[in-house]
Structure 1
Amino acid sequence: MLTLTPIPAFSDNYIWVLHDQSDALAVDPGDAAPLLAYLDAHRLRLRAVLITHCHADHVGGLPALLQQQPHLRIVGPSTLEIATEPVGNGQTVSA
């Protein structure tokens, strides 16, 4: 079973985490600290990050996440230089 959880970030944003009780996907981790705390508290392994667009409140946590996981899968817009899997309009991504 998959669980989708919103994690509050900043004063007006969320990081979304989709997980199966062991592996997790994070969407738009603008701040790494709340995400890392959630992953640790629930003993989840971050497998991938999905970036919807390149605003700082969506990508700001990537450097800290990459310090912990240098080979983290990052799926995001083709304009995001740090994306390991750049995608554009109409493209799909597989697990």
Structure 2
Amino acid sequence: MVHNLWPMAVVEIFGSFRTGLLLPNSDIDIVIIGLWEKLPLRTLESELIARRFAESRTMHVLDMAQVPIIKFVDCETKIKVDISFNMQVAYIPPS
């Protein structure tokens, strides 16, 4: 879904899920790396709801936070997910 919206973006998982140190109540932390003039938090929010990855009642967009983030619960697995954007000035995608 992310690559359909932003073909040059890179999606990375980090935190306890990536390191294997997750607990039963852990969330999945995801960062989307790319170039944007303005972080596309609301665009991603709309897509997540439209494609039924998240229900609107579980969606929280923290666009005024020091690190803007989208928080939601996955519809299928009921796992909590946090997505942040890391805007890079000179990002070069891997070849």
Fold shared per TM-score above 0.5: no
**Bigger Rg over Cα:** 2
Shorter-chain TM-score: which interval? under 0.3
Report which structure shows greater RCO (CA 8 Å, sep ≥6). Answer: 2
After TM superposition, the score normalised by the length of structure 1 is 0.27
After TM superposition, the score normalised by the length of structure 2 is 0.27
